[in-house]
């Protein structure tokens, strides 16, 4: 389940690539390689294939290749992911799947389950159900770029804290990935707890976006998204919120923004 336009995914991909924790990526790749030729990777909410691309860049070219099963609910994104797989000469199949129904996610034969920027959209029941299925199949999980609730700006603004708090509150609204409220900034740690409780070895690593003037377009899109979310809550005077938004947009090419994320690697003990 992506729910995101291809242009947004393309805009964020360079920052995502820089942010991914290299150590967890390497250990996930080693876990795959240890299974030998043709181990299956199931990528949830694959979008245009950024996770596949990141793993292919990390893979030892002399080592075994993998079979990718790319899942999303958007046919256009699946087409883009399939084209990327062809460009990378990666063995991949695409499937149109409603990820909200955990029991219907095709995890058969999975050695590793992957996802990027997905689990902060998920509810508690989705995360619990997915953890149960992953453990039952003995698969590993690499979950990258889950928003952790922290955003900071330089230069700062008196309303930064209120806007970030409002945005984080909005992140808890149901997003359709499971029933009930989304876990938002708490998702990565909740997922870690579910898997640790089932005997898995779990590592978490910081993977923040660090946006400078060269990332002004992404910084502006992020600010616009925050402002829209906070406006829906009505926790700030609209004129004050607009002044904050305008200051951030106008100063994007002279600013720095850090958006916190967490990467997770969970493997059977």
Is residue 3 scored above 80 in pLDDT? Answer: no
pLDDT band at 152 (very low <50, low <70, confident <90, very high): very high
- Asked whether the predicted pLDDT for residue 256 surpasses 90, the reply is yes
User: Residues 186-195: pLDDT tens digits?
Assistant: 999 999 999 9
- pLDDT, one tens digit per residue, over 44-79 is 999 999 999 999 998 877 778 899 999 999 999 999
Question: Is 158's pLDDT higher than 90?
Answer: yes
Q: What is the mean pLDDT of the chain?
A: 95
Q: Given this model, what pLDDT does residue 62 score?
A: 72
**For the whole model, what pTM was predicted?**
0.95
Tokens 């993977």 sit on residue: 207
pLDDT at 236 over 80: yes
Domain boundaries, the chain: 6-149+175-211+258-268
DSSP result, the chain: -----HHHHHHHHHHHHHHS-HHHHHHHHHHHHTT-TTEEEEEET-TTTHHHHHHHHHS-TTS--EEEEEEES-HHHHHHHHHHHHHTT-EEEEEE--TTSGGGS--TTEEEEEEES-GGGBBHHHHHHHHHHHHHHT-EEEEEEEEEEEEEEES--TTHHHHHHHHHHHTTS--SBSSS-B-GGGHHHHHHHHHHTTTEEEEEEE--EEE-GGGHHHHHHHHHHHHHHHHHHT-S-HHHHHHHHHHHHHTGGG-EEEEEEEEEEEEE-
Q: Is the pLDDT of residue 2 over 50?
A: no
pLDDT value at residue 4: 57
pLDDT digits (tens, 9 = 90+) for 19-43: 999 999 999 999 999 999 999 999 9
Q: What architecture (CATH level 2) is domain 6-149+175-211+258-268? A: 3-Layer(aba) Sandwich (3.40)
């Amino acid at each position: 389940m992506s729910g995101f336009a291809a242009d947004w995914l393309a805009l964020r991909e360079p920052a995502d690539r820089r942010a991914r924790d290299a150590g967890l990526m390497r250990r996930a790749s080693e876990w795959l390689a240890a299974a030998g030729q043709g181990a299956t990777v199931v990528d949830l909410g694959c979008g245009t294939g950024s996770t596949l691309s990141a793993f292919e860049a990390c893979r030892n070219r002399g080592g075994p290749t993998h079979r990718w099963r790319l899942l999303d609910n958007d046919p256009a994104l699946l087409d883009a992911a399939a084209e990327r797989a062809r460009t990378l000469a990666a063995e991949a199949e695409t499937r149109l799947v409603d990820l909200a129904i955990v029991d219907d996610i095709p995890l058969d034969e999975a050695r590793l389950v992957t996802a990027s920027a997905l689990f902060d959209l998920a509810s508690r029941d989705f995360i619990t159900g997915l953890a149960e299925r992953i453990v039952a199949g003995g698969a590993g999980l690499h979950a990258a770029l889950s928003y952790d609730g922290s955003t900071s700006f330089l230069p700062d603004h008196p309303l930064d804290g209120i806007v970030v708090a409002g945005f984080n509150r909005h992140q808890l609204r149901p997003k359709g990935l499971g029933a009930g409220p989304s876990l938002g900034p708490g998702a990565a740690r909740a997922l870690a707890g579910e898997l640790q409780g089932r005997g898995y070895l779990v590592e978490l690593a910081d993977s923040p976006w660090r946006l400078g003037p060269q990332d002004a377009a992404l910084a502006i899109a992020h600010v616009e998204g925050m402002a829209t979310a906070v406006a829906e809550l009505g926790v700030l005077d609209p004129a004050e919120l607009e002044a904050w938004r305008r200051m951030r947009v106008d100063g994007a090419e002279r600013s720095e923004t850090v958006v916190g994320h967490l990467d997770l690697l969970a493997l059977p003990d």
